[in-house]
Structure 1
Amino acid sequence: MVIDHVGHAASEVEGDHTLIASDDFVESDVMLGEKKIKAPVLFRGIGHSLNPANSLVLKVLSASPSAYSANPKTKLSVPPSLTGSAISLVSVVQARNNARVLISGSLDLFSNRFLRSGVQKVGSSIKHEKSGNEQFVIEISKWIFHERGHLKAVNVKHHIAGETSEPAMYRINDDLEYSVEIYEWSGAAWKPYVADDVQVQFYMMSPYVLKTLSNDEKGLYSASFKVPDVYGVFQFKVEYQRLGYTSLSLAKQIPVRPFRHNEYERFITTAYPYYGASFSTMAGFFIFTIAYLYHK
């Protein structure tokens, strides 16, 4: 069980201190709502730990630095292996396919008794008439069941600047425009998603262009840039991951060709010295031939 002799609920001062009053929540309005949970959450159960190398898991409710995991009915013979803020009371997993899972070490956290019970943290003079369990459970359930924090991308488009149709391929140094519409599910309808950190990559083995998309606050994200002076098979890639939101992974393949033989400029200003050298060589050879044939 998770035991905390400093952060337990005041109603069980003389008990084994397994009734935890925790207020160490994840800082995310998407996951726990814009209205801040003011009262601590009552928790009695087991703790678990997360692999810090795993980017798919996240602590939603953590234990205090004074907590530890042990059997309250036996005497500790060795220091506990799981202590402090490393103990996760409630965690979530968002898989790569955006499936969501909640893991809690306490069934009592969801009980009617805990939802309706008052709470006072030991050492605190503030007594809350109602614990934060109900608000916490409702808000995290909305996130788990995709009622909040769910994104979708539609109408992915790209074309040459000044045109509207999507070409089969681009030419090096073309000016192009890329756009995508991103919406967020509000629980009742899709509404425009507004952010300033969505980026597009023009990618071939590595990103040749990385551009931040500008938005019109109506869901439309767009950017314009020049095709690099490299030909091959490129991809438009949008990889968007933000805390509390489903991830977006968009990819669209497009080839890039060099200039055709009839698309180059015929006379380039910087090449005039070479033109002069060629014509002077021809003139010199002609004069040498006349002099060699007709001069004794």
Structure 2
Amino acid sequence: MAKISIATVFIALISLLLTLTHSFSTENPTDRRILVLLDDLALKSSHSIFFNSLQSRGFELDFKLSDDPKIALQRYGQYLYDGLILFSPTTERFGGSLDVAAVLDFVDSGKDLIVAADASASDLIRSIAAECGVDFDEDPSAVVIDHGSYAVSGTEGDHTLIAADDFIKSDVLLGSTKIEAPVLFKGIGHSLNPANSLVLKVLSASPSAYSANPKSKLSTPPSLSGSSISLVSVVQARNNARAVFSGSLDLFSNKFFKSPVQKAGSSNKYAKSGNEQFVTELSKWVFHERGHLKAVNVKHHRVGETDEPAIYRINDDLEYSVEIYEWSGSSWEPYVANDVQVQFYMMSPYVLKTMSTDKKGLYHASFKVPDVYGVFQFKVEYQRLGYTSLSLAKQIPVRPFRHNEYERFIPTAFPYYGASFSTMAAFFIFSFVYLYSK
């Protein structure tokens, strides 16, 4: 008995340790423990502003070289990290048990990912991006060149240092404060897989940009050109995992954060580029500090009642309500929108209604049960750019009237009642006249 007791206590302690290690929960959806894989540990200092920003917001960063043989994302079936940052564009093979499949499984489990590449991006990094719908330029010598929107500098250069300002128009992705200064970008471009509807361009190149080798003359048209070139893209998977793909590792560097910037053809000169604001806001989104929704207190009942019934009757008047909140990075705040809809669904929606909100998180709608009986569902399928999707479903049967619940006399049937009685009266009169007349 003593041995069983000790074993039980030991297993309980291991479970508790794993629970504490795995910090992600629906109560606090912000990722906290992040693995950072680097090509060179010198990146810790050259990109320290970005890393310090994450740590100041409560993230625990675990720095490792990308070929470290001790790298492991999970142990005993439990993930050790909530997020993964790959600042290792030249790595041909990860150390330990990490490979492309392990990274994709990490994302499939709901975890988040940041990948930064550059002109020396390896096939390994390109494969991870391609699996997520991001296709980096196949030419290993190609970088993004822009003779119209390059960053003005003391030397003319080859116009590979770009001042990009074509941002996606989304407050949830880039914050409500407008990014005034252009973002400095030096690296490779990518295109988005048209078959993947989950990937979005966050920062696009200008119409005058193209992807080519700056050291050689163009003999054929470039494979990527114009605004179709994406410099930074994001992916939100169907399981609400998030990923950021950048074609420039320098985008996150201290040098680009602090550099003054002036876009060619513009008289506006900024003392500081927009890189720090852009990267900080984007990191808040990818690590669920913004745009993460949860739904609680889903209720439905007949009008005038408070208890949830086990079954509805056709033509009942009912009310449906749900509370929706958004994570602000530190607490749950009421989510306010005017496009949340509820469906009363059986094979197809019989009722589709936009819900009203009290602007304190409560959404509600009232409607009449359709004159069709069967097994219905209350469904809320909410998908909005940059926000985690909500998928709520609650099943409820609907019955017809019982035989004693119908009206005794239906007003619309009065003509038929009149026809029946007039026929009987006419038959009585006819019989009387026929029998007693000479």
TM-score by length of 1: 0.94
Among 164, 174, 195, the alignment partner of 1:32 is 174
Whichever residue aligns with residue 248 of structure 2, its letter is S
- Aligned positions, number: 296
By how many angstroms is 1:71 displaced?
A: 1.3
Aligned-residue RMSD, C-alpha? 1.8
Residue 396 of structure 2 is aligned to residue 254 of structure 1: yes
Match of 1:66 in 2: 208
CA contact (8 A) 1:68 1:87 kept: yes
Partner residue, 2:187: 45
2:311 match: 169
Counterpart pick for 2:242 among 95, 100, 123:
100
Q: Distance in 2 between matches of 1:70 and 1:286?
A: 102
Gaps of 5+ in 1: none
Amino-acid identity (%): 82
2:291 paired residue among 136, 149, 152: 149
Shift of 1:125: 2.0
Query: Counterpart amino acid of 1:18?
Result: T
Cα 1:172–1:12 change in 2 (3 A) is farther
1:180 — aligned with what?
322
**Distance in 1 between residues matched to 2:213 and 2:299, nearest whole Å:** 59
Match 1:200 to one of 312, 326, 342: 342
Query: Which structure is higher in RCO with an 8 Å CA cutoff and minimum separation 6?
Result: 1
CA deviations over 1:43-65 (Å, ceiling 9, x no partner): 11110011345331111111010
Task: Confirm or deny that 1:10 pairs with 2:10.
Answer: no
Runs (5+) with no aligned partner, structure 2: 1-142
Cα distance change, pair 199–12 in 1 and its aligned pair in 2 (3 A)? farther
Q: TM-score w.r.t. structure 2 length? A: 0.64
Deviations 1:193-220 (A, max 9, x none): 1111111111122221111111111100
Partner in structure 1 of residue 377 of structure 2: 235
Q: Is the 8 A contact 1:12 1:19 kept in 2?
A: no
Structure 2: how far apart are the matches of 1:12 and 1:152? 51
The letter for the 2-side match of 1:118 is P
Moved more, 262-271 or 136-145: 262-271
What is the letter of the counterpart of residue 27 of structure 1? K
Cα distance in structure 1, aligned partners of 2:383 and 2:300? 22
TM-aligned CA deviation for residue 273 of structure 1: 2.5
Distance, in Å, in 2 between the alignment partners of 1:4 and 1:269 is: 78
* Structure 1 or 2: more helix by fraction: 2
Among candidates 274, 278, 281, match of residue 139 of structure 1: 281
Greater mean alpha carbon deviation, residues 213-222 or residues 264-273: 264-273
Task: Give the counterpart letter for 2:193 in structure 1.
Answer: N
CA distance in 1, matches of 2:234, 2:361: 28
1:88 aligns with 2:252: no
CA contact (8 A) 1:3 1:20 kept: yes
Q: Does 1:113 find its partner at 2:224?
A: no
Deviation at 1:35, TM superposition (A): 1.4
Alpha-carbon contact 1:198-1:212 (below 8 Å) kept: yes
Q: 2-side partners of 1:286 and 1:34: how far apart?
A: 85
Residues in 1 aligned to 2:386 and 2:418: alpha-carbon distance in whole angstroms: 66
1:66-94: CA deviations, max 9, x gaps? 00011112221111121111000000000
